[in-house]
Chain A
Amino acid sequence: MRTIKFILQKEFLQIFRNKSMLPVIFVMPIIQLCVLVFAATYEMKNTNLFVVDKDLSSHSRELISKFNGSPFFTVKDIDFSINNAEDELLKDDVDAILVFENGFGKLVDKKEPAEVQVLVNAIDASAAGLYNAYILSVIQEYNLQLKAKLQIVGKDNGIHLVQNTYSFLFNPEMKYIPYMLPGILVLLVTVIGLFLSAMNVVREKEIGTIEQINVTPIKKYQFLIGKLIPFLVIGFFELGVGLLLAAFVFKIPILGSVWLIYLVAFVYLLTILGIGLLISTQTDTQQQAMFIAWFFMIIFIMMSGLFTPTDSMPMWGQKLNYLNPVAYFIKIIRMIMLKGSGFMDVAKELGILGVYAVSILGIAVNRYRKVA
């Protein structure tokens, strides 16, 4: 214990004395959190629409005004010619084209099926899906109004409306910030933890102090615990700042227990720091450590479910994800914060992380060689 105390004292002194690293550790994550939470959103606010109206009837104008009135759409231009519309689409100035053929209004008046053509730029497939869904919902709404109007005006014409009612559980307004923020928080804690730990032991190799350490009676586990605890504390601190920002700046309700989040974070950070220390003991220069850490980081993050749902990954990808600690923590922290899940709800994932942490730390201690 005394030995670990002396190692901790040294590590903390070194961390707080490194003037160029302090802002990286304590300020950058906060900036990243604020920037990423607002920037990494799927919410469609500015869909640019080009309308080709060859009909010019009151009905087409009414539907266009519905788009104009929606906060999600900006009607860039209304024209007769499809050619101009396609030019704009090629220049990437509009995201979708809406085409009313001549006779649209007459068909509506005759209560016959009338058609609207929707052309969507689908280079970004997921965005295209969203444009399409938003456009359809506007048209759908217009349809319902039309039907209701016709029913009142005309006699019973046999139209029976089946209306879908939705209820979005846990995030009723379908906001992206409550969904993205917990994930981005995980990301920041991971980046700091993995990189700091991966660079640490190898740095002592580079400056030559590791040899002096190895000739002392320090035990391997004491040395690695002494290296691990400071980063655990930093990780906890950043998580705390992130949760405070979430609660008071972004106003995201944290439904579950903060203690449970910390318990999971503890097990999770042990895993991440274990991976970092393992990288550090296996490399000879900070540069090598950096590249290997980055390699794992990219895979962990891209497959974590932060940006794309893990359920839609191919089967082999989902299986590979059993080894991805980031995926577990993002899943758990979303469950706790948004659903208010309790210990039993996350016990399985927490258990897996626990096994992961113990194994990776075991390997790290084992692979750290005091003797060459």
Chain B
Amino acid sequence: MNSDKKVISVRNLTKKFGSFTANDDLSFDVYQGEIFGFLGANGAGKTTAMKILCGLSYPTSGEIMVAGLDVYKQREELKRNIGYMSQKFSLYEDLTVFENIRFYAGIYGMSLKDIKLKSDDLLKKLDLVHARNKRIGELPLGWKQKLAFSVAIFHNPEIVFLDEPTGGVDPVTRRQFWDLIYEASRNGITVFVTTHYMDEAEYCNRVSIMVDGRIEALDTPEGLKNKFDAKDMDEVFLRLARKSNYKE
């Protein structure tokens, strides 16, 4: 599943808002097909870093390559090769399921014929054929989240960025959501996901844990548990988070 090809390469990324340092000298690599968990407490700087990787925000300094493209100079080409699902739900509630898919796929340059074929397959897979012409606003949250993810990878990006994709969703739907993530990963899409559910961290190939704008740990879930002598990721996370609080 994992290859040696780096799809994200970050060296010394720093982002400052005035005197506040949101991201402090981050360096890490993400490999093709990997599910990379980006963990941290609220306000640790996860979303800030993710927005920089997506080309939504300028870094203050650092060398950052995403999908082999420079986030400073090749921003627009970069956007063709990534998908993004933000914390805020971002499909249009007043448009139907199909109209949303058609709009987003259309602006990535897919042909109408491809859009129709692929959306039929997708809706069959999600068991949402009956909802094709329903407005998004009428659907339950779990369905919306799965659709938002499917729309984010509809144009077959190299990498998909998910910012707390399962917030407010029940455990069963979360499990189904992760099935979709695994499937995307099997198809070669690299998944970069932020979360604060520690059980979800266990599903990742590797996780990094951010505390106060810095990466405090980065390894496989097994590796981290061994290193911190913890029985689960929850314990790992609490130890690291506590460590930061003592420093303050």
Contacts and interface: CB of A to CB of B under 8 A. Distances in A.
Interface of A: 2-3, 5-7, 9-10, 13-14, 17-18, 207-209, 211-212, 214-219, 370-372
Contacts of B108: 216-217
Contact of A13 (B58, B75, B79, B99): B99
Contacts of B51: 372
A21 B90 CA distance: 22
Contacts of A219: 76
Interface string B38-58: 000000000000010011111
A372 B58 contact: yes
Contacts of B86: 208, 211-212
Contacts of B93: 207
Interface string B75-97: 11001101010101111111100
A212 B90 contact: yes
Contacts of B182: none
A217 B99 contact: no
A212 B99 CA distance: 15
Nearest to A208: B88
A17 B135 CA distance: 11
A276 to B, nearest CB: 21
Given A18-B94, A208-B89, A3 B106 contact: yes
B107 A7 contact: yes
B62 to A, nearest CB: 16
A371 B107 contact: no
Would you call the interface of chain A mostly helix, strand, loop, or mixed?
Answer: helix
A372 B99 CA distance: 28
B104 interface: yes
B140 interface: no
Given A215-B82, A215-B84, A217-B76, A14 B95 contact: yes
A10 B103 contact: yes
Contacts, number: 76
Contacts of B206: none
Contacts of B84: 211-212, 215
A285 B92 CA distance: 18
B92 A209 contact: yes
Contacts of B214: none
A10 B99 contact: yes
Contact of A14 (B79, B94, B104, B109): B94
B102 interface: yes
Given A3-B106, A372-B56, A217 B90 contact: no
Contact of B55 (A212, A215, A218): A215
A2 B95 contact: no
A208 B90 contact: yes
Contacts of B82: 215
A212 to B, nearest CB: 4
B94 A215 contact: no
A210 B108 CA distance: 16
A5 B112 CA distance: 12
Contacts of B91: 209
Interface in B99-132: 99, 102-104, 106-109
Contacts of A10: 92, 95, 99, 103
Contacts of A6: 102-103, 106-107
B106 A2 contact: yes
Contacts of A14: 92, 94-95
A14 B103 CA distance: 12
Contacts of B99: 10, 13
Nearest to B135: A17
22 contacts: A3-B106, A5-B106, A9-B106, A10-B92, A10-B99, A10-B103, A14-B92, A207-B88, A208-B89, A209-B91, A211-B86, A215-B55, A215-B56, A215-B79, A216-B104, A216-B107, A217-B107, A217-B108, A217-B109, A371-B57, A371-B75, A372-B56
